[in-house]
Structure 1
């Protein structure tokens, strides 16, 4: 049982697209197994008219669209409360309708007062949900679990830690410590060039720290191949049957327009298992 997670934020954004959410079931499963309260944020994205001189017909269409989205979000929230009750999870639901900027600010503020947030993975690079993922990663100060389709149950029997010795990887390990301690096995994976691995054993420095916390840890070093680090992480996760990858997120942009680092971007676009990320 995961003991120190007491509040989980589950985020869903209603855009009028019929897309199933794995984050809801996964987040409720995590809350159930940790005895946490779940806050379900079933927000709808409000279309805002930019031109004050639009005609009545256009204004009416936008108003009808927003009403439909509000109703869809309310329906999702009602079902979510039923799912939470069936799972024995204490839950609260919020269904705000907000413009994109307001939606991002609201999710970030909510994430800051929860132990972690859970969102659906989004393969598209330019997308409202991808922007929400990036905002929570870089602005909330809290860890985030990104859930790909098909993962409806929180599992952490085997966990893969992507380790490069950076501050972000260190933060991710610390944020995930309660999960790591209750996992059956944790593999710390360091990936580098042959030259790098010939002079040091990456991962060896974090393994004793994890062991002192009661983590059943092992270390593996692999040489980076032509397909790059993301491919190796996916392959190793499949090889060990990992339920979760723990990693630091990277932001290579120095502008407010966020651009995720290559490894993070690639894994988000093709996540094989849920990703636990910190920044």
Structure 2
């Protein structure tokens, strides 16, 4: 049975940059999955009237904007095909169109038809952030954020951010494909947190992974004068983790995202590839 990862690209208003393509292809290779790239182009409703046609020619502007998005999408998909072929990764591509207000919702809905999602993460690109949030909380699929770092060609070392919560357990369950490919798993637990109900949570979870035939160790630590999300990422980077797995706290209220503290921090500063699951 094939495992297929979706790489969505929204082309409006700020498109995801093509620089994410090599990162996504490398991650697909490391995961041993097929890559499906999907361009999500804008479809602008015709709101013109006689006055607007005389003064601005809104229909022409609409056609030009839609054509620009399609061109961006085609260029992105062509780059995916080229990079995937070079890396020996199976890939397919497609494109869909959606009204501007529904672009992120479309990405989340499309993601439900794949096993996992690879998302570009660019700190200065609002599109990448809103797309990632929509997919993490709306798709029901694990999502790997790909920041501006070179991904590993193999997932030798994987870190798990574990606090014993429901979302952490859900994230690990969604990451079985990743964990089976790792040669070493480190369970990171920040001690002294109010939400941590068990003092030996990391040890218990690592033991459970070892009983399942995986190679895991516990690494509880104290976060000193540093937000939890920063401490987790710094410790993961220190041990050489190629990927960190964690649960995502959050819900939507009136179409605005209300994020848990650590999740909000992670989505503000992604320092290594992170698999988030809600």
TM-score (norm 2): 0.86
| Residue 52 of structure 2: aligned partner | 55
Cα distance change of structure 1 residues 61 and 236 upon mapping to structure 2, 3 Å threshold: same
Let me know the Cα RMSD of the aligned residues.
2.8
| Residue 190 of structure 1: aligned partner | 189
1:29-66 deviation line (CA, Å, top 9, x unaligned) = 34334543221012233454656566122412232122
Structure with bigger strand share is: 2
> What number of residue pairs does the alignment pair up?
275
| Residue 165 of structure 2: aligned partner | 166
| Residue 87 of structure 1: aligned partner | 87
Q: CA deviation at 1:277?
A: 0.7
The correspondence of residues 249-260 of structure 1 with structure 2, limited to 5 A, is: 249-251=248-250, 254-260=253-259
Equivalent position SS for 2:109: helix
Q: CA deviation at 1:121?
A: 1.2
| Residue 72 of structure 2: aligned partner | 72
Q: Distance in 1 between matches of 2:52 and 2:192?
A: 62
Q: Distance in 2 between matches of 1:51 and 1:65?
A: 15
Q: CA deviation at 1:255?
A: 4.5
Q: Distance in 2 between matches of 1:49 and 1:226?
A: 54
The correspondence of residues 67-146 of structure 1 with structure 2, limited to 5 A, is: 67-123=67-123, 127-146=126-145
Cα distance change of structure 1 residues 132 and 19 upon mapping to structure 2, 3 Å threshold: closer
1:120-162 deviation line (CA, Å, top 9, x unaligned) = 114369x333222122111211100010013355542211111
Q: Distance in 2 between matches of 1:47 and 1:264?
A: 33
Verify the 8 A CA contact 2:160 2:185 in the aligned structure 1: yes
| Residue 28 of structure 1: aligned partner | 25
Of the candidates 39, 43, 59, which is equivalent to residue 42 of structure 1? 39
Verify the 8 A CA contact 1:43 1:73 in the aligned structure 2: yes
Q: Distance in 2 between matches of 1:68 and 1:196?
A: 48
TM-score (norm 1): 0.86
1:166-216 deviation line (CA, Å, top 9, x unaligned) = 111011111112212321211111113288889721222212221122221
Unmatched 5+ stretches in structure 1: none
Unmatched 5+ stretches in structure 2: none
**Which sits farther off after the overlay, 12-21 or 268-277?**
12-21
Q: Distance in 2 between matches of 1:238 and 1:175?
A: 22
Q: Distance in 2 between matches of 1:40 and 1:146?
A: 15
| Residue 12 of structure 2: aligned partner | 15
Q: CA deviation at 1:117?
A: 0.5
Verify the 8 A CA contact 1:191 1:224 in the aligned structure 2: yes
Equivalent position SS for 1:209: helix
Q: Distance in 2 between matches of 1:128 and 1:157?
A: 31
Verify the 8 A CA contact 2:29 2:153 in the aligned structure 1: no
